[in-house]
Chains A and B, each alone.
Chain A
Amino acid sequence: MSTNVQILAIVVTACLFGIVFELVRRRRMMERYALLWLFASAVLLALAVWRDLLEEVAQAVGIYYAPSALFAIAFGFVLVLLLHFSLVISRLADQTKVLAQRLGLLQTEVDRLRAELASQAGEQEREREYSRST
């Protein structure tokens, strides 16, 4: 692996790690969604810095050009992340649906109770007027 490629890999993964960390620090990203990102970028950064380990991993899998192994591992992480997000989106969509349904049903109930209260108040008013007039 040439030094240029190594430097590029280190800079990119370090930036990724830094950005995710900063987003968590500013509370733009929740910790539970940052964990996967931080883990992925940490592993990639380690492999980019520790050249021998990357060479070893690449050889073990049968990849002749070590930086390709870095890409392959990064791709694996991306797949896992996307799957994770699909799960999260499904859960959110389901939660949103349940909330919207509850809201609609409760709104109907509130309207009904309000109308009932108003008619009760109207009746009392009429009774009071009636007793006053007699």
Chain B
Amino acid sequence: MAHEDRRAPDTLHCRNSPPAAPLRTQSAPTDPTTMSRHLAIVPAYNEAAAIAATVGDLHAHTDFDVLVVDDGSTDPTSECARAAGAAVVRHPFNLGIGGAVQSGYQYALEHGYEIAVQVDGDGQHDARHVDELLRHLQEHPELDMVTGSRFLEMTADGYRSTLPRRAGIRLFARLLSAVVGRPVSDPTSGFRMVGRRGIELFARDYPHDYPEVEAVLLLHFHQLRGTEIPVRMRPRTSGVSSINAQRSAYYMIKVLLAILVGLLRARPAVEAGDRAPVAAESSI
């Protein structure tokens, strides 16, 4: 079914992007003369229903180039994204969110982008906040990363989550704040913007399975600085969270292990200056 769809782009089941979105297929994002220096990285796995709207939102509310990283989807996510005017990097098979996001940073590095922002493909992240992140990053040149946090200001129509999940997030928030020495209120937020140094770091080394918490650590261990600003997130419009009830125990333990191991690691396993290394090969 999905394969037939892929060959017939005219009959895609893409939900159309909002009418405000200008179609940017003509000015290809990689054209060096018209290229903006800002890239929005949208990791997407089987998000054909939502991806066009996400890309359209980004085009409507920001001047960011949009890169959709299709992480081996079996539905026409790539075609929908391309039709909506985004550049697309497609993985031959599913690598997981960490691998997808890292591909985005590698693309940003190779194409010389100065600033990159991660935006989820499922519509949780509101494109209108991107400019706020950008302004904050530009006003504070000492910062390397700005994260959009759901929990800095509690609002009636803001993000709601289940109790155990919020408890878990709060635990990580406490732990992480203690480790990195700055308040981290939303350690699982994937809505964040980094400058050039962050792009270089993440292109070379990015955590695998559930990367958000570990990425904050990674940044800290490489002595880059981050902060948070409040944003509102919407409930997802399609797909399911990669963290369901059964997996959350595994998630908790794995991330706790990552924090512990990270603390005990004498120095960063990956130094800046190389291509993406095969980290599991680099030492004993």
Contact = CB atoms under 8 A, between A and B. Distances in A.
A84 interface: no
A91 B89 contact: no
Contact of B88 (A90, A101, A108): A108
B280 A101 contact: no
A32 B194 CA distance: 43
Nearest to A92: B280
A19 interface: no
B189 interface: no
A106 B241 CA distance: 29
A97 B95 contact: yes
Interface in B94-119: 95, 99, 102-103, 106-107, 110
B24 to A, nearest CB: 14
A64 to B, nearest CB: 38
A108 B281 CA distance: 27
Contact of A101 (B28, B103, B279): B103
Interface residues of A, number: 17
A101 B281 contact: no
Contacts of A97: 95, 99, 208
Contacts of A105: 89, 103, 106-107, 110
Contacts, number: 53
B216 interface: no
Contact of A100 (B88, B93, B110, B278): B93
Contact of A108 (B87, B92, B99): B87
Contacts of A94: 278-281
From A94, A97, A103, residue with most partner B Cβ within 10 Å: A97
Contacts of A108: 87-90, 107
Interface in B30-89: 30, 69, 87-89
A98 B91 contact: no
A98 to B, nearest CB: 5
Contacts of B88: 108
B92 A103 contact: yes
B143 interface: no
A112 to B, nearest CB: 6
B258 interface: no
A104 interface: yes
Interface in A95-115: 95, 97-98, 100-101, 103-105, 107-108, 112, 115
From A91, A93, A100, residue with most partner B Cβ within 10 Å: A100
A104 B278 contact: no
Given A107-B90, A108-B89, A90 B280 contact: yes
Interface string A47-64: 000000000000000000
A76 to B, nearest CB: 20
B276 interface: yes
9 contacts: A87-B280, A98-B278, A101-B91, A101-B99, A103-B91, A105-B89, A105-B103, A108-B87, A108-B88
Given A91-B281, A94-B278, A105-B103, 14 more contacts: A94-B281, A97-B208, A98-B278, A100-B91, A101-B95, A101-B102, A103-B91, A104-B69, A104-B90, A104-B103, A105-B89, A108-B88, A108-B90, A112-B30
Interface of B: 28, 30, 69, 87-93, 95, 99, 102-103, 106-107, 110, 208, 276-281
Interface of A: 87, 90-91, 93-95, 97-98, 100-101, 103-105, 107-108, 112, 115
The 3 closest A-B pairs by CB, nearest first: A90-B280, A94-B280, A104-B89
